[in-house]
Amino acid sequence: MLRDFGVRDVRVQEIVSLDRDMLACLPYGLRPIYGLIFLFKWRDEDADKLEASCPEGIWFANQTVNNACASVALLNIVNNIPDIDLGDHLQQFKLFTADFTPALRGDAIGNFEFVKSVHNSFARKMDMLNADLQLKNDASSRRKSKAKNADEDNAGFHFIAFVPVQDRVWKLDGLQRQPQDLGSIASDDWITHVVPELELRMAQYEEGQIEFVILALVKEPLTDLLPALAENIRSTISFSERLSQVNPDWEDFVPNIANRDSETSYSTLSGLGVEDERLRESIDQAELPPAIQMQLENENVQELLAGRQELVTAQAGLRASIRDQTQIIQLENERAARRRHDKGLLAKGLLQVLGRMGKIGSAFGNEDEY
């Protein structure tokens, strides 16, 4: 959905543990964490925890239309991430709504055809008819009755966002009128302010009940992997050129030199699953790091060979990581395509045909009821 919105270099990653050590071991490049989304069974909250009004500099929208909490949560995060590429549509929308109240921003989302078309392309027909109906009724009735201990067994599921903005951590819940301040950020580890809030919610579930999901919006790993590979290939080529100047027969000292092209040739880039032209352009424009430039001043063949071999070894790891990440994106795209294929309408049509033929009742052994 983010890619269809036009947002670049941001990925959604499921978080299986809030343990600090586990978060530190996220796969390659999944840092920084821009924001968290918590999917849970909705429960009403005390309004006195909220800000009196939306603080300046925070982009926050209310959920004013049904079946939109996921899109609202995503927008409440990406519109607060500095220096990311939102794409033309969302960038213009952010500027247009900069001075709006949260309620007006929510209405603007409901009237924004671009966001609606992307959102609805992922929603099956029955989702759009029923997904937020129970949630809306719950929220409305509880705000009117102020009943704290109302029955929540049939509550709907809801998405809320957590994001660091202006050295503070904010909870952005589209069903609440204003953001909630969770405290100042004393260090880069802003998630420590969110953990108690999430643990409190998760503790409300009975043992064995897993009725929540935590998602993180993180930096797309390819954003760093591709420039790193381009710099590596550029450096490897420079080492080969320098070795040829110092000793034209340097290749005799390198085992498996027949495979040298796989380390420097453009022809091997197509197997990585990324845009060839984009990567080739990055290689041509890559600048040599100062440390590499100093090594290239050396005239010792063995030291030059050792430096080149370090690059070759690192390049193999980079290529493997890029292939892994492009495969993940491909799988995500395939899942999204299956999600967009709504089989509910087909099933409904088949049942209607079977009903007119009188086949449904006989299948259940009671024709009179169908």
Active-site residues, by number, are 69, 158
User: Can you list the positions of beta strands (E) in the chain?
Assistant: 10-15, 33-41, 157-165, 168-172, 180-184, 212-219
- Among 8, 18, 4, 5, residue whose Cα is nearest residue 215: 18
Residue type for position 317: G
- Among 113, 111, 109, residue whose Cα is nearest residue 121: 113
Strands 168-172 and 180-184: antiparallel
- Among 72, 53, 218, residue whose Cα is nearest residue 158: 72
Measured distance CA(181)–CA(57) in Å, rounded: 13
Torsion of CA 141, 145, 151, 152, to 10 degrees: 50
**Spatial CB neighbours of 357, under 8 Å, sequence gap ≥ 6:** none
Per-residue DSSP letters for 288-300? PPHHHHHHHT---
Measured distance CA(43)–CA(150) in Å, rounded: 10
CA 88 to the chain's CA centroid: 19
Whether 198 and 214 have beta carbons less than 8 Å apart is answered as: yes
Q: Which residues of 155-184 are buried (b: 16+ CB within 10 A; e: fewer)?
A: bbbbbbbbbbbeebbbbbbbbbbbbbbbee
Whether 185 and 168 have beta carbons less than 8 Å apart is answered as: yes
Side by side, the strands of the sheet bearing 157-165 are 10-15, 212-219, 33-41, 157-165, 168-172, 180-184
Q: Which single residue is written with the structure tokens 């941001």?
A: 10
Measured distance CA(225)–CA(313) in Å, rounded: 15
How many other C-beta atoms can be found within 10 angstroms of the C-beta atom of residue 206?
Answer: 6
Measured distance CA(269)–CA(265) in Å, rounded: 8
